[in-house]
Structure 1
Amino acid sequence: MGIVFFSVNFFDSSRDLDEEILKKIIDLAVLAPSAFNLQPWEIIAVRSPEAKQRLYDAALKQPKILAAPVTLIMVGDKDAYTEANDAWWYMRDVGTPDDKIRGSIEFARNVLYNTELKRNNFAVRNTSFLYMSLMYAAKYYGVESHAMIGFEEDKIKKEFNIPDNKVVVLLICLGYFDESKTLYPRLKHRGYEEIVRVV
């Protein structure tokens, strides 16, 4: 059946997540696609007790944040479509001429991301690709995860010095299941017949 996900609500606070494993998870996950390969994301890895407490207070006091060895704050950059992002020029590595790269930059600025809503969607959608990739990568390395959208973005941005041109997309707790606990039963997931409309 392949990889099966459960959102792990209970993390073993006695087990740390090795820094090298975390690096491997992230280095595998960043192979996720993004528009123009612009990679408009960054990650704040919350590990210290002090930082966990600040995040806990800004994320509706969810206990898993204190128990998990690390929680990742997934941040999307609404301005990453501009020429200031040197990822545009990675296209040179595969032979794309500069005039075509500049044409893509102009198209992004004038058509694709020419409103605040489009810029926000650009950051959120692309960072979401990385987010799901992280969950698969974590599972590959034997690490459990919990996806979180319950938080107060303004408080997280203030606590972790995240500027206005960036958006807190999601949080993801990583660690190991507390075997003394019982996972909640899996609820029904709708399948192909219920969600697919073929046209």
Structure 2
Amino acid sequence: MNTLKELYNERRSVNFFDKNKKVDDKVLQDIVNLAVLAPSAFNLQPWEIIAVKSDEAKQRLLPLAMNQPKVVEAPVTLIVLGDRNGYSKENVMWDEIASMMKDDKKLEATQGFAAMLYGTSEERKIKFAESNAGLLAMSLMYAAKYYGVESHAMSGIDFEGIKKEFNIDGEKEVVMLITLGYFDEVQSLYPRSKRKLYDEIVKEV
């Protein structure tokens, strides 16, 4: 898999995973370390991931994912989180930004601007968390495909139940699940369905 166009053409949402084929720890790390090149607001990277790998954790997650078999069949499921307070001064990425700016007043103004953009309402906080974590999520799936690993994004889940079961901080939003693994070759996928193209989805103004 060498080109971006190939990745787009070949990536599929896989429902059937080979239960006997694990994703190597190093491969999982490589996937995440490539995916974090995704863009984020002010490069604040307001995201976290919980990697559900143990049989015990999978069983806890299963009923919260509407008992979808791929949660226990896939070797790993990622819980993708977005931080509603990721714009705040407590985010350690501001230290990196400060080292580049080398100007305390400019840094303070930038932090204030970020707070105004993302922190003035609960709706804005949620949008901030989910939009940035969504960028990471898609990046994770293409990075997985680059390393030969299949994926499936899941949003039909019990978001609040997952937060409670996995002791996730109240300011963190569960954005989606992504199962990762290798296709069960005994199964088959439907042919790729039609996609709406430019003329159907773009309005020029």
- TM-score for the superposition, normalised by structure 1: 0.96
**Partners of 1:111 and 1:196 in 2: CA distance:** 27
Partner of 1:174: 180
Q: Tell me, yes or no, if structure 1 residue 134 matches structure 2 residue 140.
A: yes
Partner of 1:76: 82
**SS of structure 1 residue aligned to 2:6:** coil
Query: What is the CA deviation profile of residues 28-67 of structure 1, one whole-angstrom value per residue up to 9, with x for unaligned ones?
Result: 0001110011100000000000000111111100000000
Equivalent residue in structure 1 for 2:73, among 57, 60, 67? 67
**Residue 92 of structure 1, CA deviation:** 3.1
**SS of structure 1 residue aligned to 2:85:** coil
Query: What is the CA deviation profile of residues 52-109 of structure 1, one whole-angstrom value per residue up to 9, with x for unaligned ones?
Result: 0111111100000000000000011101111011101211343442211111111222
Equivalent residue in structure 1 for 2:6, among 2, 7, 10? 2
**Partners of 2:21 and 2:72 in 1: CA distance:** 12
Superposed counterparts of 1:1-199, under 5 Å: 1-3=5-7, 4=9, 5-199=11-205
**Residue 113 of structure 1, CA deviation:** 2.2
8 Å contact kept, 2:87–2:118: no
- TM-score for the superposition, normalised by structure 2: 0.93
Structure 2 gaps of 5+ residues are none
**SS of structure 2 residue aligned to 1:2:** helix
Structure 1 gaps of 5+ residues are none
**SS of structure 2 residue aligned to 1:162:** coil
What value does the CA root-mean-square deviation take over the aligned residues? 1.2
**Partners of 1:50 and 1:7 in 2: CA distance:** 25
8 Å contact kept, 2:151–2:178: yes
Cα distance change on mapping 1:111 and 1:132 into 2, 3 Å: closer
**Residue 111 of structure 1, CA deviation:** 4.1
The number of residues matched between the two structures is 199
8 Å contact kept, 1:89–1:101: no
Structure 1 residue identity aligned to 2:76: V
**Partners of 1:40 and 1:17 in 2: CA distance:** 26
**SS of structure 2 residue aligned to 1:85:** coil
**SS of structure 1 residue aligned to 2:192:** coil
**Residue 130 of structure 1, CA deviation:** 0.4
Structure 2 residue identity aligned to 1:58: L
